[in-house]
Structure 1
Amino acid sequence: MTKYVELDVRSEIGELEGVILHTPGSEVENMTPENAERALYSDILNLSVAQKEYKQLSGSLNEITQTYQVKELLANILKDDKVKEIIVDKVCKIEPELAVKGNTYCIKDILLDHTAEDLASLLIEGVTLTRDNLTKFLSKERYAMRPLHNFFFTRDASMSVVDEVLIGKMANAVRDRESLIMQAIFDYTPGFKAKTVNPIDNPNMDPNCMIEGGDVLIAREDILIIGNGTRTTTQGIDFILAQLLSQKEEKQRHILVQELPAHPESFIHLDMVFTLLDKDKCMVYEPLIIRPNKYQTVHITIQNGKVVNIKNENNLLQALKKLGMELKPIYCGGTKEPWNQEREQWHSGANFFAVGPGKVVGYARNIYTMEEMNKNGFEIIPADDVISHKINLADYEKYVITLDGSELPRGGGGARCMTMPIRRKAVNW
C-alpha cells in the first residue's frame, strides 16, 4: 500500500520528505529530428541511455526519501470509473481535434475502453493515428494524441507552494496535458491532502498568463523568487501576486522577480541560472545574476492584502540580503573562464536540486562547477555509490550527488527540473 505524505513545502532546501518523479518512457523516443522543435527539443534523445541516467536520480532519491511515479499515481486514480471519464473528457476538451463530430474514429471511446494502467500509459505516451480514411492515410502525423515528450521534467506542470499546489499554465500547448494530469493526481489522491489552484479555472484569467515551475523558487516561507521570461509572463506573476493578496496576511511577504533573456534557449527558466543550495549558499550563472546587465530585478512587498512597495533592486543577492538572507554565490562553470561558464550553463550546470540544507543533486559532466562546489565544502559523491551503498550519506554534512549526464541534459534540464517536491521539513533559519 502506498504511503502518502501531506503537501507542505516552505523552502527550496528543507529536508526532503516526498517527491514526484516521472521515469522517461517511449514518449521521449517518439520524435524525429523533424518534429523535435515542435516538441520543444533541440535534439533527439537515446531512450536507453536516458533511462540509465535517470535511474541514478530515482535510485538515489529512493535511498533518501519517499518517491512517487506519475504513471502509478495516474493509474491509481483512473481505477475510479467516474474519475476516468472526467479526465478523458478534459483531455478531449483541451485537444478537440481528437474527437471530431461525424468522425468514425472517436478517441474518447477508445481511451475509455482501456484499463487504468493502459490508459495512464496512453495519456503520457500518446495514441497512434488510425489511418482509416484518405486524409489520415496521407497525413504526416504519426499520432492522433501526441506523446508528452517533456513530462520527465515534472517541475513545470505543478508547483508546491506552502500547502497548496499551483498548476502550471504552460507556455506551449503541447504541454497542456501535463498540467491536466498533475491537477488530477492532486485533486483525486486524498492522501496528499492538497488544494490545487489553476489559472484556467479563473474566468478573469489574462490570456497572456503563463506560469511554469522552473521559474518559481521558494527562498523562504515569506519570499518567492520568480523568473520572468519566455515561459513565465508578467501576467502569470500577477496571477501569483493576486493569490497572495487574497490571503490578506498581516506578515509581510515578498516576491523577487528576475527578468530572463529570451535567448539562448538554455535560459528558459530561472532555475537554469539560479538555485538555492544551503541556508547561506546559492548557485549562480554570474553574467546574468551578479554582473550588471539590462535584465531587471524587481522587489514586490505585500501586506494585509495590498502591494505596499514595488521597486528595482541591483540584483537578486542584494535583494535577498536586505531580507535577511545573505547568500554566498558559487559560480556555475567556475570563476576563471566565461567560455566554461557558458558551456556548463548550457548543460544545466546551475540546475541543482536540494534534498536538504547543503545536500544537493547535479550533473557530473559540469566539472568546473563541481570544482567550485568542492572548494566550498561539498563532497562530490557519484550516484552509483549511493545506490550501491558504497558510501553512507549520513557521514557527510554537505554533498553533491552526481548524475551521469550525456542524454538527459540534451532534453534541456537538470535535477531540479526532473523533481516535483511535495513535502519538506522546516528549515531552522
Structure 2
Amino acid sequence: MLCKPSELSIPDMKTAYQVGWKAPVDKRKALASHLNMRQVLEEQGIQVIDYSEYLSATELKLNDQLINRCYVRDLAGVVRKQVITGRPAISMRLPEYDQAHQVMQSWFNPDRFFTPNGTKGATLEFGDVSILNRDAIVINVGKRTSIGAIESIKQAIFDAGFSEIAVIDLPRHDDTMHLDFNFNVMAANLVVAKSFLRFFPLRVICREHTRYAMFEDYMRYHGYEVHALSSYDTIPDINFLNINPETILISQQANTARVLDHPKLKQKKVIKVDVTELEKGGGGIRCMTLPLRRREIS
C-alpha cells in the first residue's frame, strides 16, 4: 500500500523546521518521485494500492493537505494474516491514520483486523516494528512507540503464531526516530544495523516469561549475522525495502558500496530509485511502503 504525497509544497526552511521536515519540498517533484517509485514496484510484479483513491471527495479534500500521508509504513502492520493498526505519536498525523484505517477495514474480514485498546497515551508507529522471522518480532520503544502499546498488541502477536517480542529502547533523536532508521533485514541470514546497537540489550517477551539478551547475541540466536555500519546516511542507506529475498529497492542517494560491503551480499540484486524530494520529509522507501501481503517463502 502506498499513498501519493500531499498537494502542498513546503515553501522554505523555516516552514520545514516547524513541521518537522528536513528541507523544503516541491510538490511536483515529490509526486514525480512517488510515481516513479510506484512504477518500479509494479514492474517487479507488485500490486500497488493507493488508499487515498478509496476516500470520498470530502475525505480527500482533507487528505490531500496532510503532508505526512505518503509515509504509510507507520499506519499499520500485517502480522501473518492479522492486520494491527497503529496510533501516531504526533497529533497532526491522526487524521490520516483514522482515514487509512477506515479504508483498510473495508478490505479485510473483521477477524483479521485488530485495533488495539491501548492505555491512554499509548502510541504505536510501525516504523518501529520489524518481523525478524516466523518466531520473533523486534519492536523499538523510543521516540514514537510506547511500551503501553506493546502490552496492548502482544496477545495478538502471540495468537498469530509468534513466540517472542524483542523490545529495544533506542535513543530519542531524529536520526534514530524509528527502528527502521537503525536496523533492517538484509537477507535470510543477515541484518544491517548501525554499529552502536551492539551496546543495547533487548527485553525478550514470551508468553510465560521474560528474559534479556544483547542485540548481537539475540540476532545470532535467531541465525542472523549483523552487518554493522559505523558510517552511514540514515535514510538512504538503511530505510530500504525488501522486494523479494533476492532484491532490495533502495534510494538513489544510498552509498551501496558501503551498504553492500559484505560477502553474503555479493549476489544481491539492487534497484535504485530517486526519492530525494520525498526523503526531505524525514522518511525513506521503507517508510513509504506498507506491505499487505507477501509471497510465502518455504
- Check whether TM > 0.5: yes
In structure 1, the partner of 2:58 is 119
Determine the C-alpha separation between the residues in 1 that align with 2:84 and 2:33. 29
Q: Secondary structure at the match of 2:113?
A: strand
Give the number of the structure with larger relative contact order, counting CA–CA contacts within 8 Å between residues 6 or more apart: 1
Contact 2:135/2:163 (CA < 8 Å) preserved in 1? yes
Would you say 1:427 and 2:292 are equivalent positions?
A: no
**8 Å contact from structure 1 (residues 158, 212) kept in 2:** yes
Give the secondary-structure state (helix, strand or coil) at the position aligned to 2:87: coil
* RMSD across aligned positions (CA): 2.4
CA distance in 2, matches of 1:24, 1:170: 18
Q: 1:311 to 1:60 in 2, by over 3 A?
A: same
Contact 1:36 1:44 in 2 (8 A): yes
Q: What does 1:261-280 correspond to in 2, within 5 Å?
A: 261-263=171-173, 265-280=174-189
Offset of residue 270 of structure 1: 0.2
Residues 112-162 of structure 1: per-residue CA shift (max 9 Å, x gap): xxxx3x33431312xxxxxxxxxxxxxxxxxxxxx3111111100111111
Measure the CA separation in 2 of the matches of 1:166 and 1:45.
31
Measure the CA separation in 1 of the matches of 2:162 and 2:107.
33
In structure 2, the CA distance between the partners of 1:212 and 1:252, relative to structure 1 (3 Å rule), is: closer
2:37 alignment partner in structure 1: 57
Residue 105 (structure 2) pairs with residue 195 (structure 1): no
Whole-Å separation in 2 of the counterparts to 1:194 and 1:62:
29
Matched, 1:226 2:144: no
- Deviation of the 1:214 alpha carbon: 0.1
AA at the equivalent of 1:62? E
1:300-322: CA deviation from partner (whole Å, max 9, x where unpaired): 122xxxxx22122111x321322
1:186 aligns with 2:104: yes
Asked whether the 8 Å contact 1:277–1:352 carries over to 2, the reply is: no
Corresponding residue number in structure 2 for 1:415:
285
Tell me the equivalent position of 2:192. Answer: 283
Shift of residue 237 of structure 1? 1.4
- Counterpart secondary structure, 2:296: coil
The Cα of 1:193 is off from its aligned counterpart by 7.7
Aligned counterparts, 1:286-297, within 5 A: 286-287=195-196, 289-290=197-198, 292=199, 295-297=200-202
Deviations, residues 292-341 of structure 1 (Å, cap 9, x unaligned)? 2xx43111122xxxxx22122111x321322xx32233344xxxxx5x43
- Which of 356, 361, 364 is the aligned partner of 2:244? 356
CA 1:232–1:252: 2 relative to 1, 3 Å: closer
Give the letter aligned to residue 51 of structure 2: V
2:124 is aligned to 211
SS at match of 1:25: coil
- 1:92 counterpart residue number: none
Match of 1:45 in 2: 25
Q: Residue 366 of structure 1 aligns with which residue?
A: 254
Q: Which amino acid aligns with 1:243?
A: A
- Aligned position for 1:7: none
How many pairs are equivalent? 297
User: Conserved in 2, the CA contact under 8 Å of 1:256 and 1:298?
Assistant: yes
Contact 2:242 2:248 in 1 (8 A): yes
Cα deviations across residues 150-181 of structure 1 (Å, max 9, x unaligned)?
11111001111111211111101111112111
Unaligned runs of 5+ in 1: 1-19, 76-115, 126-146, 303-307, 333-337, 380-396
Matched AA of 1:319 = Y
- Structure 2 Cα separation of the partners of residues 211 and 31 of structure 1: 30
In structure 2, C-alpha distance between the alignment counterparts of 1:31 and 1:178, rounded to whole Å: 22
**Aligned mates of 1:26, 1:44 — CA distance in 2:** 14
SS in 1 for 2:238: coil
CA deviation after TM superposition for structure 1 residue 30, in Å: 5.5
Choose the corresponding residue for 2:93, options 171, 175, 198: 175
Distance 2:151 2:236 in 1: 28
Q: 2: distance between equivalents of 1:377 and 1:54?
A: 31
Distance 1:271 1:252 in 2: 20
Cα deviations by residue, 1:46-102 (Å, 9 ceiling, x for unpaired): 222222322332111011211111221x23xxxxxxxxxxxxxxxxxxxxxxxxxxx
TM-score of the two chains, using structure 1 as the length reference: 0.64
Quote the Cα distance in structure 2 between the aligned partners of 1:427 and 1:240. Answer: 25
Deviations 1:334-359 (A, max 9, x none): xxxx5x43xx12x3421121111131
